[in-house]
């Protein structure tokens, strides 16, 4: 007897998802509520739990297929792996992975079992860099490999000294024209959604970016002074994001239009700040939300952002984590970016871009001195926000960072 595995409810207004990867192979033992598949929605990856214990049976859908809520995607057979091997073997011809009409990459992971358990993004990275997945320790959920694990292994492999050659190598044969090993990979649902929303922002909003630079000396000094006692008391490190979140709330309170949205022919003003924070996940950039950040202290902000970042890396963010948001902070500085023009996150009207801290010469009191400086960028929808509001809001953030006392006295 077999039990059908169906696509669970995915969240409000989400009707379908894409099969991202199978976490269990036919014939493997499955425990009750054990994740057996990963679904990619427009915003997050969702794991499908086993409705019963038994043996993984037939795949009804393959990786890359779009499936609706309630659709049957697999079966689970009764019994143990030994008992269930025979019925599974009878359906061995069922497709397990999507067919491809492209040329196969020249290299493959050493272990077929390891390759089957990898997500499409990780599998692609393994093939591209020639990494044996069995030789890399995974940091993802349940020890699974992430794309970052593979890239780190590839970087370590490149950094290792190459053995001395016994004889001059023969020149490589010329690559035939038209056959350079190109690879075509279907865009994930998340990447398609990101692409569509960013293009919608460009097509709909009147985007404009204003810049300023910020002296980070005061914040860095405060962080250095209190970091140990802060972590000891609150159990979390004191970072820069809490300072910028508090500074942004200060500016949004004085300039509510920067925290507002255009909905139809109306402007909606929010008396609260739900802060969207752009974080990196294995499948791309995601923007989970810290709610009521204007009511939170430094420690609560750091804990909330740290938790969202950890769950983004593990792929355990939920649809509820991604919904809403009135203003966004994107920190490109962690990747070394010096300056950028961030794109707003619709239907929001503004986004603050942070960048790397760099020692630069500046004039203070008529003298040239070296200060740790950061470029700030505020992109905004000019349909709703005037230039004066945007420039002054960014100036407020700059002043609050340069003199954190303003955050305490609401100035």
Question: Which residue out of 33, 254, 382, 403 is catalytically annotated?
Answer: 382
* CB of 86 closer than 8 Å to CB of 22: no
CATH of domain 2-90: 2.40.50.100
Other CB atoms closer than 10 Å to residue 158's CB: what's the count? 9
Stretch 30-44: mean pLDDT: 84
Model-level pTM greater than 0.75?
Answer: no
pLDDT above 70: percentage of residues in the chain: 81
Q: Which of 132, 228, 254, 386 is catalytic?
A: 386
**Range from 153-162, 196-205, 384-393 carrying the lowest mean pLDDT:** 153-162
How large is the average pLDDT for residues 32-47? 82
Report how far apart, in Å, the C-alpha atoms of 361 and of each of 348, 368, 369 are: 36, 6, 5
Out of 20-29, 69-78, 110-119, 333-342, which region has the weakest mean confidence (pLDDT)?
110-119
The CATH class, in words, for 112-159 is few secondary structures
Q: State residue 149's pLDDT score.
A: 79
**C-beta separation of 245 from 293 below 8 A:** yes
- Find the range with the poorest average confidence among 51-60, 78-87, 147-156, 347-356: 78-87
Residue 96 tokens, joined = 């397990």
Q: How high does pLDDT run on average in the chain?
A: 83
Residue 215 designated active-site: no
* SS3 label, residue 290: strand
More confident residue, 119 or 92: 119
**262-315 pLDDT, tens digit each:** 999 999 999 999 999 988 777 677 899 999 999 999 999 999 999 998 988 887
Give the residue-averaged pLDDT of 204-219: 96
- Asked whether the predicted pLDDT for residue 101 surpasses 50, the reply is no
Give the pLDDT band of residue 83 (cuts 50, 70, 90): very low
Nearest to 43 by CA among 190, 166, 162, 183: 190
pLDDT digits (tens, 9 = 90+) for 237-269: 999 999 999 999 999 999 999 999 999 999 999
- Average of per-residue pLDDT across 76-86: 64
Q: Would the CATH topology of 112-159 be identical to that of 196-409? A: no
Could you give the maximum distance between any two Cα atoms of the chain, in Å?
Answer: 84
Least confident of 5-14, 47-56, 175-184, 244-253: 175-184
- Dig out the tokens for 93 from the structure: 């011809």
Distance CA 183, CA 325 (A): 37
What is the rounded average pLDDT of the residues 57-64? 88
**105 pLDDT above the threshold of 60:** no
Domain 196-409 listed as CATH 3.40.50.300: no
Per-residue model confidence as pLDDT tens digits over 336-381:
999 999 999 999 999 999 999 999 999 999 999 999 999 999 999 9
Quote the pLDDT of residue 121. 65
Task: Supply angle C-alpha 399, 400, 403, rounded to 5.
Answer: 85
Looking at the chain, the whole-number percentage of residues with pLDDT higher than 90 is 43
386 is an active site residue:
yes
Residue extents of the structural domains in the chain? 2-90, 112-159, 196-409
User: Average pLDDT of 200-214?
Assistant: 93
Residues near 287 by beta carbon (within 8 Å), at least 6 away in sequence? 276, 277, 278, 279, 322, 325, 328, 345
Please tell me which residue, 45 or 373, carries the higher pLDDT value: 373
């Amino acid at each position: 007897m077999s039990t059908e595995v169906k696509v669970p409810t995915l969240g409000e207004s989400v009707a379908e998802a894409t099969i991202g990867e199978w976490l269990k192979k036919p014939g493997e033992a499955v425990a009750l509520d054990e994740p057996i598949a990963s679904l990619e929605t427009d915003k997050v990856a969702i794991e499908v739990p086993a409705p019963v214990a038994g043996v993984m049976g037939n795949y009804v859908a393959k990786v890359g297929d779009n499936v609706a809520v309630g659709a049957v995607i697999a079966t689970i057979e009764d019994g143990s792996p030994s008992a269930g091997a025979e019925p599974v073997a009878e359906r061995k011809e069922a497709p397990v992975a999507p067919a491809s009409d492209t040329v196969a990459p020249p290299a493959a992971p050493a272990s077929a079992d390891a390759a089957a358990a990898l997500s499409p993004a990780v599998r692609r990275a393994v093939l591209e860099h020639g990494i044996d997945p069995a030789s890399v320790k995974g940091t993802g959920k349940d020890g699974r490999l992430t794309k970052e694990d593979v890239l780190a292994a590839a970087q370590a492999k490149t950094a290792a000294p190459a053995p001395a050659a016994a004889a001059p190598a023969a020149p490589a044969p010329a690559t035939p024209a038209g056959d350079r090993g190109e690879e075509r990979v279907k865009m994930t649902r998340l990447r398609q959604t990101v692409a569509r929303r960013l293009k919608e922002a460009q097509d709909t909003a009147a985007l404009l970016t204003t810049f300023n630079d910020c002296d980070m000396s005061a914040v860095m000094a405060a962080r250095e002074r209190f970091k140990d006692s802060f972590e000891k008391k609150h159990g979390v490190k004191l970072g820069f994001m809490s300072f910028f979140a508090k500074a942004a709330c200060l500016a949004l309170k004085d300039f509510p239009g920067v925290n507002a949205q255009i909905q139809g022919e109306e402007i909606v003003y929010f008396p609260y700040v739900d802060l969207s924070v752009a974080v990196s996940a294995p499948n791309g950039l995601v923007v989970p939300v810290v709610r009521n950040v204007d009511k939170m202290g430094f420690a609560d902000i750091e804990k909330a952002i740290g938790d969202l970042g950890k769950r983004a890396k593990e792929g355990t963010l939920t649809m509820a984590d991604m919904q809403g948001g009135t203003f966004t902070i994107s920190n490109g500085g962690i990747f070394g970016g010096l300056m950028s023009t961030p794109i707003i996150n619709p239907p929001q009207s503004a986004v603050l871009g942070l960048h790397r801290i760099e020692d630069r010469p500046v004039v203070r009191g008529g003298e040239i001195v070296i200060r740790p400086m950061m470029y700030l960028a505020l992109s905004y929808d000019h349909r709703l926000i005037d230039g004066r509001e945007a420039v002054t809001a960014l100036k407020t953030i700059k002043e609050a960072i340069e003199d954190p006392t303003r955050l305490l006295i609401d100035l």
